[in-house]
Chains A and B, each alone.
Chain A
Amino acid sequence: MRSAIAVLAVLVVLSGFANILVRHQHRLMFNALQTQQQQRDRLNTEWQQLLLEQSTWSFQHFVESKARDKLDMVFPQSIDRLVVEQR
């Protein structure tokens, strides 16, 4: 009887320490999760901005005016084109 109580007392103390350990780990992992979530949000934001930047640069109006005015490109007229038929 007495030894059983002693064992239980030791177990109570051990589980107490285990609880402390688990709480601590939970805290660490939660911090890590938050860091990851912040990073995800930051990357998402960056991606959205890059997407917007890309679509602004590649917008037809922009490309067309660059091609016409800066690069002196013209749309080939039908006389400039040769249709090759595949056999």
Chain B
Amino acid sequence: MSARTGSLMHRFRHHLVLWLLLAGFGLLAARAAQLQLLEHEFLQSKGDVNYLTVQTSHANRGMILDRNGEPLAVSSAVDSVVADPKAIFRDGGFDAQTGWDELAALIDESRESIRERIERNPDSEFAWLKRHLDPERARQVAELGIAGITLRREYKRFYPGGPVFGHVVGFTDTDQNGLGGVEKAFDEQLSGTPGRTRVLRDGRGRVIEHVEQLAPVVDGEDVRLSIDARLQYLAFRHLKAAVKKHRADAASVVLLDARTGEILAMVNEPTINPNTRDREKLTSSSARNRALQSIFEPGSTIKPFTVAAALASGRFGPDSRIETSPGVITVGGYPIRDFKDYGLMTVSRILIKSSNVGIAKVAMELDPTTFPAHFRDLGFGRATGIPLPGEESGRPPGAGPLRQRDQASLAYGYGLSTNLLQLARAYTVLAGDGRLLEMRLTPGPAEYGGRVYPPEVVSQVRSMLARVISGDGTGTSARLADYTAAGKTGTVIKYLVEEGRYADDQYLSVFAGFAPAENPRLIMAGVLDNPRGEAYYGGQVSAPVFSRVMNSALHLLNVPSRPDADKPDLLQARLDGESDT
């Protein structure tokens, strides 16, 4: 090989390498240009889907608390067990894994039902094995370490008081949306807003970086109610017992703070247990908050207002005499009857003995326009406006001037309808100084409506109502063991709405009153629907509920019981007797 050919060969190789390198660079540049310039957007979006995602973080739902901070509804974390059938089959199928028996025991399912659920849909990536498992067991499930079995964090609403607070607190669906009661009424305040964060994930789906916060987590706020859990339970227990004893269809009780109008207890029977999440039951008639959603004619519990109107008119005093013999009168072709012939009665006695004839005669002397109108001032026909859903506000008496017959029946509580809470609200006028107190479901100061009666009329009516209970009135079984009380019973013939007539033998037994009589702290109204025992009079059926609930409630609130002159001696005698033995 000559030097010349050698140098030629050398030059050729030199150029070859150079061109090859250039071509290589050219290819790379072209590919880069293709990716960057032509397919940039497509690739970028692909990459972002894999690595850049928006993560939502759970906002805790607020608690519902009673007035003393006792929890009535609490959200708590639970874990649901989820299977990924696709992953399980990728790893060799159901039988290639161990630990199924342990899992079955932990979630209370059989091995076969787990197998069935996984093999039903081998291509899917998701199958529930167990919803809402408590976290301790969920931890044990995780420790089994079965491939394809994971936990999913969920939240569940718990109601420590269960059926006692059923209607007031309400309930939520599985996604914690409020569906009834306070849960629905305060849903917005309770639920808060979930947080949203843009995050970067690695190849295995783990979050490696928070890129930006799109919205911060705002936890739901707690809602504090005016309800006192202790009083609510007390009312619930006694109401339930009374319903059972008298075989009533349904019953309700509301208990108010006489000084602020706060609702301290509101119970119904039948009730619902929000913990059971029994769909059917939660939408059945048991789910009705009767204290707010059932309307009825209040009957004799209206008589105190008729008497107050009569006293306020100036035409009657407490001792004005009315002839009620022979215990029946006919007004506009309809007879009005008394329990018996009471003869000549004072206005006070008419209220104490609950004389229909007497009260009708009084009412017919009153102005046929202002008398019915004043029931609107007492709040009848106007919803209480508390935030619970579904309130029925009833029907106020017709605008005057009323016919004699309507005026007479209005005097003893027919011709207007009310829900139980409205009736209790009307009694705030008599328990206070003659002004109407508005109802509150959350704690707060008193909010007054207009004045209905002058204070001196109120104190006269109040002392009559005290004698209904303490004297020989119709409400003696409402007497409290340790306190004075005032109130009025009512036995109302039930109006059958569907049939459009009054029932022959179905009654509502009503009671409304307050205690202590001289300085009222609590107002209570109760109704038992269709008691089917021997007893059906308000005095026999609902008055004892008043007595028991009221007495215990006043003790719980540390209201001093009435001083009883001979009691210390009795106690002393007992103590002496015991020390002798």
Contacts and interface: CB of A to CB of B under 8 A. Distances in A.
B210 interface: yes
A79 B482 CA distance: 10
B208 interface: yes
A80 B578 CA distance: 13
Given A48-B76, A52-B158, A80 B233 contact: no
A16 B509 CA distance: 86
B76 A59 contact: no
Contacts of B247: none
B203 interface: no
A39 B70 CA distance: 26
Interface in A41-74: 41, 44-45, 48-49, 51-52, 55-56, 59-61
For chain A, give the interface size range: 20 to 34
A3 B459 CA distance: 103
Contacts of B60: 44
B481 A59 contact: no
A83 B207 CA distance: 67
B230 A60 contact: yes
Nearest to A60: B233
Contacts of B563: 83, 85
A79 B74 contact: no
Nearest to B72: A55
A45 B482 CA distance: 45
A24 interface: no
Interface in B36-84: 60, 70-71, 74-77
A59 B482 CA distance: 26
B161 A59 contact: yes
B564 interface: yes
A75 B556 CA distance: 12
Nearest to B563: A83
Contacts of B74: 48, 51-52, 55
A81 interface: yes
Contacts of B564: 78, 83
A47 B567 CA distance: 48
A51 B71 contact: yes
Given A55-B70, A61-B233, A45 B210 contact: no
Interface stretch (B302-310, B493-501, B568-576): B568-576
B482 A78 contact: yes
B447 to A, nearest CB: 30
B160 A77 contact: no
A78 B161 CA distance: 30
B161 A79 contact: no
B135 A45 contact: yes
Nearest to A85: B563
Contacts of A60: 229-230, 233-234
Contact of A78 (B158, B209, B561, B574): B561
A48 B77 contact: yes
B333 interface: no
A51 B160 CA distance: 10
Contacts of A83: 560-561, 563-564, 567
Contacts of B234: 60
Contact of B481 (A30, A34, A49, A78): A78
Contact of A55 (B71, B207, B482): B71
Given A55-B71, A78-B482, A81-B561, A49 B570 contact: no
A82 B71 CA distance: 35
A80 B552 CA distance: 15
A51 B75 CA distance: 10
Contact of B160 (A44, A52, A85): A52
Interface in A14-31: 26-27, 30
Most buried by B among A27, A44, A81: A81
Contacts of B571: 79-82
Given A45-B77, A48-B77, A79 B567 contact: yes
List 8 tightest A-B contacts by C-beta distance, closest first.
A55-B160, A60-B233, A48-B76, A45-B77, A82-B571, A78-B482, A55-B71, A78-B481
23 contacts: A26-B209, A30-B208, A41-B77, A44-B60, A45-B76, A48-B74, A48-B76, A51-B74, A52-B71, A52-B76, A52-B158, A52-B160, A55-B70, A55-B74, A55-B160, A59-B160, A60-B234, A77-B481, A78-B564, A78-B567, A81-B482, A83-B560, A85-B563
Interface of B: 60, 70-71, 74-77, 135, 158, 160-161, 164, 207-210, 229-230, 233-234, 237, 481-482, 552, 560-561, 563-564, 567-568, 570-571, 574
